[in-house]
Amino acid sequence: MKYLIIYLCFFLSLSTTAQTIPAHDPVMIKQDSVYYMFCTGQGITVWSSVNRVDWKKEQPVFAQPPAWLLKELPAFKGHTWAPDISYHNGQYYLYYAVSAFGKNTSCIGVATNKTLHPGSHDYHWVDQGKLVQSVPGRDDWNAIDPNLFVDDTDTAWLAFGSFWGGLKLVQLNGDLVSLAHPEEWHNLASRKSEPDKPGGGNSAIEAPFLFKKGKYYYLFVSVDFCCRGLKSNYKVLVGRSEKATGPYIDKDNIPMMQGGGSLVVAGDTTNWVAVGHNSVYTFDGKDYIVYHGYDAKDNGKPKLVIRELRWNTTGWPELAP
List residues with catalytic annotation. 25, 206
Q: What is the dihedral of CA 219, 220, 222, 223, to 10 degrees?
A: 60
Q: Which residues contact 149 (CB under 8 A, 6 or more apart)?
A: 156, 157, 158, 159, 210, 244
Which run of H or E residues covers position 273? strand 272-283
Which run of H or E residues covers position 70? helix 67-72
What does the angle CA 255 – CA 185 – CA 291 come to, to the nearest 5 degrees?
60
- 3-state class (DSSP) for residue 220: strand
Q: List Cβ<8 Å contacts ≥24 apart for 124-127.
A: 125/61, 125/62, 125/94, 127/62, 127/66, 127/68
- The C-alpha atoms of residue 152 and residue 55 are separated, in whole angstroms, by 33
Exposure string over 281-311, b if 16+ CB within 10 A, otherwise e: beeeeebbbbbbbbbbeeebbbbbbbbebee
**Distance between terminal CA atoms of the chain?**
27
Residue pair 168/104 in contact by the 8 Å Cβ criterion: no
- The C-alpha atoms of residue 298 and residue 20 are separated, in whole angstroms, by 10
- The C-alpha atoms of residue 111 and residue 246 are separated, in whole angstroms, by 28
Q: Residue 87: name the closest of 148, 130, 42, 131 by CA.
A: 148
